[in-house]
């Protein structure tokens, strides 16, 4: 029994010495982990600072781009509310008739369905100048009508202020701006629209309505994707408001622009 007790004591001493060595290794590892944690924390802070600096540079480039080359602004129209005009001409008109006229004014029949638009008739959005605008409610029927008219009418079109020209030009400029924004923001667009192809897709007398509508839908999808990536307030966006969504995206009030 005494010999067995001695052997047990020797084994316990070996285990104790081994436990001390493991404890020293544990302390070294913990110290190393603390150093790595401090280094990671410092690198994370530096990376966050670089991201903020990059976001500020992107923001400055975008604001410069949209103020010098592609300014987007709201253009007021001089149209009066038909409810106001009718009420002035007929003092006996009831309030229900006035409200119905106002409601009809805020409703647009677009692509086979009625669309409610509070800005209908009040404003339009201009790009590169107040003379190149898009309808605020996304109704591009003036372009379709012009294409149909050109198919039946011979001779050059001398009407330089034709809405179809401004719609085509505004959509082409919007496509160029969206492609440039995707490069600056480093965001991949879901729909591929190159400038050369979009010029042929949004211009021309023999252009089909289906092809034109398809190009516009791609453009609107890309704009919405950019707005989502920059955390634009969803309550401000509308799937048919091409330039208005762009205006909200590049607005200086967009806090996350450049993220």
Q: In angstroms, rounded to a whole number, what is the distance separating the alpha carbons of residues 27 and 19?
A: 12
CB neighbour class for 108 (10 Å; exposed up to 12, middle 13-18, buried from 19): buried
Alpha carbons within 13 A on the beta-carbon side of 183:
8
Kindly report whether the global pTM for this prediction surpasses the value 0.85. Answer: no
Per-residue pLDDT of 174-204, as tens digits, reads: 999 999 999 999 999 998 877 665 565 565 5
d(CA 173, CA 65): 12
Full pLDDT tens readout for the chain, 259 residues: 999 999 999 999 999 999 999 999 999 999 999 999 999 999 999 999 999 999 999 999 999 999 999 998 888 765 444 444 444 445 445 566 756 665 665 555 544 555 555 444 457 888 988 888 888 777 777 777 776 676 666 555 555 557 778 888 899 899 999 999 999 999 999 988 776 655 655 655 556 778 888 888 999 999 999 999 999 999 989 988 989 999 999 988 888 888 8
Which residues 6+ apart lie within 8 Å of 56 measured at CB?
A: 258
Cβ contact 91:78 at 8 Å: no
* pLDDT tens-place string over residues 129-167: 888 888 877 777 777 777 667 666 655 555 555 777 888
Structure tokens at 114: 């009625």
**Secondary structure class of 162 (helix, strand, coil):** coil
How wide is the angle at C-alpha 164 spanned by C-alphas 161 and 166, nearest 5°? 60
Closest CA to 244 of 172, 168, 141, 137: 137
């Amino acid at each position: 029994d005494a010999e067995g007790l001695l052997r047990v004591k020797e084994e316990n001493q070996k285990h104790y010495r081994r436990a001390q060595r493991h404890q020293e290794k544990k302390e070294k590892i913990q110290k190393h982990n603390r150093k790595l944690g401090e280094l990671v924390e410092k690198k994370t802070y530096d990376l966050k600072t670089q991201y903020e600096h990059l976001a500020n540079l992107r923001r400055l480039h975008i604001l410069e781009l949209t103020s010098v080359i592609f300014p987007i602004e709201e253009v007021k129209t001089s149209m009066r509310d038909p409810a106001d005009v009718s009420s002035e001409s007929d003092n006996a008109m009831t309030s229900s008739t006035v409200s119905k006229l106002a409601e009809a004014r805020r409703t647009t029949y677009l692509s086979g369905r009625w669309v409610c638009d509070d800005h209908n008739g009040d404003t339009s959005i201009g790009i590169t100048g107040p003379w190149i605008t898009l309808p605020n409610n996304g109704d591009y029927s003036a372009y379709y009508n012009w294409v149909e008219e050109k198919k039946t009418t011979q001779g050059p079109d001398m009407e330089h202020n034709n809405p179809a020209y401004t719609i085509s030009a505004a959509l082409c400029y919007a496509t160029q701006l969206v492609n440039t924004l995707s490069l600056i923001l480093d965001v991949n667009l879901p729909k591929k629209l190159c400038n050369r192809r979009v010029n042929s897709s949004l211009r021309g007398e023999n252009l089909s309505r289906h092809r034109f509508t398809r190009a516009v839908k791609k453009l609107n999808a890309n704009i919405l994707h950019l707005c989502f990536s920059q955390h634009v307030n969803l309550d401000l966006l509308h799937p048919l408001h091409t330039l208005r969504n762009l205006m909200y995206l590049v607005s200086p009030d967009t806090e996350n622009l450049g993220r």
